[in-house]
């Protein structure tokens, strides 16, 4: 997760602004076994996953 955040931060710094930059706060495993990053809260993610 740290590597993805660092990459995104570097791009924002190159643009000169971090305005509107979404920061991932947690990871989860998808149904196919892959890892993903999300900026959603755990509550919001669980609501979508159970729907």
DSSP reduced 3-state for 36: strand
Question: Residues 18, 12: contact at Cβ < 8 Å?
Answer: yes
CA distances from 29 to 12, 13, 20, 38 (A): 27, 29, 26, 11
What are the Cα distances from residue 46, in Å, to 7, 20, 33, 36, 42?
27, 24, 18, 15, 6
* 7-50 pLDDT tens trace: 778 888 888 887 777 777 777 788 888 888 888 778 887 887 77
Paired sense of beta strands 26-29 and 35-38, if any: antiparallel
pTM listed for this prediction? 0.45
């Amino acid at each position: 997760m740290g590597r993805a955040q660092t990459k995104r931060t570097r791009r924002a710094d190159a643009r000169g602004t971090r305005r509107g930059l979404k920061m991932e706060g947690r990871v989860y495993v998808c149904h196919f076994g892959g890892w993903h990053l999300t900026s959603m809260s755990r509550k919001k993610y669980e609501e979508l996953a159970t729907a």
